[in-house]
Amino acid sequence: MDNKNTIYTTLVAALLFFIWFFVWPSIQLLSDFNRELKNSREDLVLLETAKDQLQQESELFASISASDKQLVELAAPLSQDRTGLINLLNDLAGNNGLVVDSMSIAEETAAARRASTDALASMSVTLSLEGAYNSLKVFVDALEQSLRVFEIESVDIAASQDEDLAQFIVRVKAYYAK
């Protein structure tokens, strides 16, 4: 009887040893694979959603007319288009009763453009203008209604010797497609 108990005990111990060192690691490995599979499936669903959205946007873009594409390019030119920018700002100022004394353009650094994930890059433009206060208001309204995308950063006002006129320093950002 003792011999049988010893054999049973040894067999049970060997079975536990086998389960502990051979079966349990396989179960853990399967559990890890299952978790990875679940995460991969979630990622796949996200990627499929993004793909569908991109496909819809691509179809929408393909359906845009040539004239609408030209309007988009006017709003955010494909390049910096400094000449067009200078002409536009001179025209807006002149048409609204302001005289452009000077204009300077500073580009974003190449490192800043690369670091940005935005689809648009920008140039900072500083305008030195002279004119009436009301002309400045009309000029700012014209900037806001312009097809070209601008962001007015600041407006500084200084009195002029002529009491009807003032000096204005207007800082704007002009955007263009990267």
The answer to whether position 69 is within a domain reads no
- Say if residues 167 and 128 touch (Cβ distance below 8 Å): yes
pLDDT value at position 132?
92
Residues 168 and 133 in one domain: yes
- Binned at pLDDT 50, 70 and 90, residue 75 comes out as confident
Residues 42 and 87 in one domain: no
pLDDT value at position 115?
67
105 CB-side CA count, 13 A: 14
Residues 84 and 149 in one domain: yes
The answer to whether position 21 is within a domain reads yes
Residues 4 and 32 in one domain: yes
pLDDT value at position 108?
74
- Binned at pLDDT 50, 70 and 90, residue 6 comes out as confident
Tell whether the model's pLDDT for residue 39 goes beyond 80. yes
Amino acid at the residue 33: F
- What's the whole-number average pLDDT of the chain? 86
Tell whether the model's pLDDT for residue 40 goes beyond 80. yes
Q: 3-state SS of 30-43?
A: HHHHHHHHHHHHHH
- Binned at pLDDT 50, 70 and 90, residue 99 comes out as very high
Residues 58 and 92 in one domain: no
Q: What is the pLDDT of residues 123-160, one digit of tens each?
A: 999 999 999 999 999 999 999 999 888 899 999 999 87
Residues 55 and 118 in one domain: no
How far apart are the C-alpha atoms of 153 and 150, rounded to whole Å? 9
Residues 109 and 42 in one domain: no
Average pLDDT over residues 102-121: 77
Total domain count, the chain: 2
Average pLDDT over residues 162-175: 90
The answer to whether position 81 is within a domain reads yes
The answer to whether position 68 is within a domain reads no
How far apart are the C-alpha atoms of 146 and 159, rounded to whole Å? 28
Q: Domain containing 118 — which CATH number?
A: 3.30.70.60
How far apart are the C-alpha atoms of 137 and 129, rounded to whole Å? 12
Residues 81 and 159 in one domain: yes
pLDDT value at position 17?
80
Average pLDDT over residues 71-87: 83
Tell whether the model's pLDDT for residue 113 goes beyond 70. no
pLDDT value at position 72?
75
Residues 57 and 92 in one domain: no
* Domain region containing 147: 76-177
DSSP result, the chain: -HHHHHHHHHHHHHHHHHIIIIIHHHHHHHHHHHHHHHHHHHHHHHHHHHHHHHHHHHHHHHTS-HHHHHHHHHHS-SS--HHHHHHHHHHHHHHTT-EEEEEEEEEPPHHHHHH--SSEEEEEEEEEEEE-HHHHHHHHHHHHHSSS-EEEEEEEEEE-SSTT-EEEEEEEEEEEE-
pLDDT value at position 163?
79
